Structure 1
Amino acid sequence: MKQKTWPYKSCSHQFTGLPFINKPNKKSTKDRQTRQLNFTSKSSSSSSSSFLSSSKCKEPDFSSLPYDVLARIASSFSLPNLQSASLVCRGWRDALRPLREAMLFLKWGKRFKHGRGGVKPNLKKALDSFLKGAARGSTMAMVDAGLIYWEMGKKEEGIAWYRKAAELGNPAGQCNLGISYLQADPSNAKEAIDWLYQASVAGSVRAQYQLALCWHQGRVLHQNLQEAARWYLRAAEGGYVRAMYNTSLCYASGQGLVQSHRLARKWMKKAADRGHSKAQFEHGLGLFSVREMMKAVVYLELATRAGETAAAHVKDVIVQQLSATSRDRAMHLADNWCALPSTR
């Protein structure tokens, strides 16, 4: 099937306005200095005692959180955040040790799954590593274990691990659980939408795209093009390339969004530059329509290589109108093209 600090309320001193001071004489200056010294010593002793008393009982001691609460909060942390939380105090360091160990198992699981870090791909060892990480509380390991089970055809085991991660607040687990319920036979549509919505609100662009599809197709929800376009746009702004393409279509047709050919071209180019083959074809046609021939050939060539057979015919027509130098330049650009990073 990818922190905000809270405000600290401190005890602030109240300052009063200073009175106008007449020109001092030596006697009054000396008396004032004596009074100031007495005041300073009294206020320092009283403020230190008040600080000690307030620090004893007024401020919450976050380091005394129960382990199960702390583990639930930190179960979705990335490794840098987990390491930072472990530096709060000795209690947190000891309590978060299982989650730090889980991150190591997660790392090795990904190596075995994808054959990285000098190891050969081994799905059995990957699953074993993910399960060890999941047993120590890592929601990311739970999601990866669920994904391997799902790919092995053991869908019930996969859904069980997705649910564990989802209930602990992991957006990827919530998204995968929602999609799993949509694909189940029979589908569990209501619960699927609930989990997709939770993941979408939490910022999962994949869940936002899936939720938009549900609104757009009217398959699970009643068709609502405005809601569909809203979630497409949010996912597109988050970097989800498929949502970029659909957002462009919404702007071009005026479905769910105010019609804007400028914004349609903008999002189509964004999707094309991130490797969406249909967007490359569409963007190439758009460039051809405004007579930007060489650029059009580049995008149409990329679309052709990605399997868009209809792009090849249009490209051949344009190539005949270019000079040999322009043709060679276009092919050179296509050969050296690299997609911009995106969330698929």
Structure 2
Amino acid sequence: MQRRRWPVDKGHHHHQRTWPPGSDGTQRPRPFASLPMSSHASKRGLTVARTGKKRSYWFGDENGGRREPAADFSSLPFDVLRKIAAAFSVTNLWAASGVCRAWREGLQPLREAVVLVRWGKRFKHGTGGVRRNVPKALETFLKAASRGCAAAMVDAGLIYWEMGKKDEGIALFREAALLGDPAGQCNLGLSCLQAEPPNLKEAVNLFYEAASRGNTRAQYSLALCLQQGRGVERDLPKAARWYLKAALGGNPRAMYNASLCYSSGEGMPRSYQQARIWMKRAAESGHSKAQFEHGLNLFSEGKKLTSLLYFELALRSGEQNAAPIKEALLQQLPPASRDEAMSLADNWKPVRHHH
């Protein structure tokens, strides 16, 4: 019988859902399933010996000698396996599914959940040839969540939150957070800030956990708490570092605040050049205040057409301070330039800045 090969899903992935580093910044060991199946993995002390169709796993000492064989993968309880893999990326999930038959069978619910999450997003956003149907999206996410998928718990929790059913949303965020999902930890932290009374210390702890695992929204939120002294001692240099880390990860609000830190010298050395760079990136990413201020910078440089574009974008995003300057520019520019600026605004799309 021909052995079935599990396909790798190339059309869907979750950002930043890799095996997370520890809260102290050190890298946690990856599960054996995510290790490359080479003949020798010296750094991990793991040797893979292939005998026919069967693999044996041995722990080795520093001199290359063999010690006792590692526990057989198939002996790992399914419930433990699913809990470990709940926050895996799609790539790691399929890699783990190929380790052995027991893992393939144990992870089947999570592979099914990946497909359900994809359909849930289509229903939520009306993409992929389906009509937008939020109740159907919620139903689909909940089916995926029941299979142990942390990403689905977050997606379902967000819909509950938007529906005003905050308790149901928080319960799902908490479940995802317990599985080590950074988005779940971040959303649970944000809900702690909005609680009555707010639980500031728990929020900061959750932000630290998610931020250390690369979640840019948690990095931004942690920086904000450090800047304001909410739930943690005020520390401007540390806040600026987290703003910059989130900005490098592509968070527009962090880009804007990093620009302000550079321009004011708050928490980092003053640099007008860096301030303008990050203000421009925030504006290009769609931050309305940054679009207004970047427009002012362009106007001061005499770039009237481009400044009109950013004033128009800021105004469309609700930044009313841009209105009087936009009107003054419209009177100064010829009709062709005005039309060009409006056409550019109509076709404008945010730029994804990610380092």
Scaled by the length of structure 1, the TM-score of the pair is 0.79
1:270 aligns with 2:281: yes
Quote the Cα distance in structure 2 between the aligned partners of 1:127 and 1:74. Answer: 22
User: Where does the alignment leave 5 or more consecutive residues of structure 1 unmatched?
Assistant: 13-50
**Which of 184, 188, 212 is equivalent to 1:173?**
184
- SS of the residue aligned with 2:321? helix
Cα deviation, residue 255, structure 1: 0.8
**Shift of residue 290, structure 1, vs aligned partner:** 2.0
Distance 1:260 1:209 in 2: 21
Aligned counterpart in structure 2 of residue 192 of structure 1, from 203, 217, 229: 203
Structure (1/2) with the larger helix percentage: 1
2:3 is aligned to: none
Residues 228-265 of structure 1 show CA distances to partners (whole Å, capped at 9, x for unaligned) of 21111111000011111111111111111111000000
Tell me which moved more, 238-247 or 80-89: 80-89
CA contact (8 A) 1:63 1:88 kept: no
Q: Secondary structure at the match of 1:146?
A: helix
**In the alignment, which residue of structure 1 is the partner of 2:326?**
315
Match of 1:335 in 2: 346
Cα RMSD, aligned residues only: 2.6
Q: What letter is aligned with 1:8?
A: A
- Residue of structure 1 in register with 2:301 after alignment: 290
SS across alignment from 2:164: coil
* Shift, 1:144, TM fit: 1.7
**Aligned position for 1:8:** 41
CA contact (8 A) 2:292 2:322 kept: yes
Structure 1 pair 297/96, CA: closer, same or farther in 2 (3 Å)? same
Is 2:226–2:234's contact at 8 Å kept on the other side of the alignment? yes
TM alignment of 1:40-59, pairs within 5 A: 57-58=68-69
Task: Spell out the pairing of 1:231-270 with structure 2 (5 A cutoff).
Answer: 231-270=242-281
Structure 2 residue 107 is matched with structure 1 residue 96: yes
| Aligned residue runs from structure 1 range 93-172, under 5 A | 93-172=104-183
Give the residue type in structure 1 aligned to 2:261: C
Cα distance, 1:299 vs structure 2: 1.5
Residues of 2 paired with 1:164 and 1:186: CA distance? 22
Rate the CA distance shift 1:93–1:305 in 2: closer, same or farther, 3 A.
Answer: same
Give the structure 2 partner of residue 304 of structure 1. Answer: 315
More strand by percentage: 2
Aligned residues: 302
Unaligned runs of 5+ in 2: 1-14, 19-29, 48-57, 59-64
Counterpart of 1:24 in structure 2 is: none
Q: Decide which of 208, 222, 225 is 2:219's aligned counterpart.
A: 208
Give, in whole Å, the separation in 1 of the partners of 2:307 and 2:46: 65
Q: Distance in 2 between matches of 1:275 and 1:123?
A: 26
Identity %: 57
Does 1:228 find its partner at 2:232? no
Q: Deviations over 1:261-285 (max 9, x none)?
A: 0000000000111111111110111
